[in-house]
Amino acid sequence: MTSSGKKIFLYGGLLGGIALVIGAIIAVTAPKLTVLTTQLSESDHIVGSKESKIILIEYSDFQCPACKQFSDVVKAVVSEFQSHIAFAYRYFPLRKIHKNSGISAQAAEAAGLQGKFWEMHDVLFEKQEQWAAMPESQAIEAFKGYAKDIGLDEQKFEKDLSSSNVIEKVAADEKSANKAKVGHTPTFFLNGKEINNPKSLDEFRKVIRDEIEKNNK
pLDDT of res. 17: 52
Cβ contacts of residue 119 below 8 Å, gap of 6+? 111, 150
Could you give the number of structural domains in the chain?
Answer: 1
The set of residues, in sequence order, having a beta carbon less than 8 Å from that of 195 and lying 6+ positions away, is 33, 188, 189, 207
What CATH number did the domain enclosing 211 receive? 3.40.30.10
pLDDT one-digit tens code per residue, 14-42: 555 554 444 434 444 444 677 886 689 89
Domain with 201, as residue range(s), is: 3-216
The 10s digit of each residue's pLDDT in 131-150 is 999 999 999 999 999 999 99
Residues above pLDDT 90, as percent of the chain: 78
Helix axes 164-179, 154-161, angle to 10 degrees: 50
